[in-house]
Amino acid sequence: MDGGELLGQLARIAPWLAGALAAALSLLGSGLYLLDIRRGRTRPHLVSWVIWAVIALIAVMAHRASGGRWGLLALGGQAVTTWLIAGIALVIGVGGMSRTNLVAVALATSGILGWQLFDDPVVATACVAAADAAGLLAIVPKYWADPHSETPATYALAGASGLLAGLAAFSWDVGLLLFPGYYCVANAVTASLIWLRRRAARQVADGPCSVQCLAQLTIRERVAHADLRAGVGGAAGPP
């Protein structure tokens, strides 16, 4: 077998491997999230997960309409696990109809309507991505106030699965790459923000906090940090 034939075989196998690996990472991330739910560490945000469940199904249909093949394996795996967590959120989820959640629902609804109205696959997929982003918007106040109420590894793995789903498309078609690319970046950013909030909260608990750390804190956390340094509430202040 010469080099050209080997490259040809790799080109045929690579999309399938990328799609299978993306689906596996999605299942692993959802498994970690479900494990944290069982341990009582995580409670899913109802509005976000319901939005994501609807969008996951639409993303599969939009990707199929754009001619995707192996990328559907990854997106299908994401859809199944997302619907599972959304079902749990309906029973034990948190988050009511706050102003942020109402805005998120309105944005998601607009995105879904845009997907139905526009015939251009790229524009329709962009609408799906915007609707999915609404779910991320709704969950920000939750993990900002309590970063330990979410599982950052789930979002990190989702970002990696989005990258692999894009590779599985094995095409430079914008319609095929738009949603996986968005999914990769958006989830990676979400995971990073949760980890940063956890780090900031840990620094407050451990003692003196840098200026950069203070910039990441809520007003309540800054007050707690000031009390800690002043020796309020039994904490030992500086000499």
115 and 221 share one domain: no
The CA distance from 129 to 21, in Å, is 22
Q: What is the pLDDT of residues 137-172, one digit of tens each?
A: 889 989 888 888 899 999 999 899 888 877 776 667
pLDDT per position as a tens digit, 16-44: 777 778 878 888 998 999 999 999 888 89
pTM of the model: 0.74
Q: Confidence class of residue 109 from pLDDT cuts 50, 70 and 90?
A: confident
211 & 172 share domain: no
237 and 126 both lie in a single domain: no
| Same domain flag for 176 and 217 | no
Q: Which residues span the domain enclosing 174? A: 11-198
| Spatial CA neighbour of 131 closest among 156, 106, 101 | 106
Q: Is residue 176 part of a domain?
A: yes
State how many domains the chain has.
Answer: 2
pLDDT, mean of residues 62-81: 68
User: Pick from 98, 1, 108: which is nearest to 45 by CA?
Assistant: 98
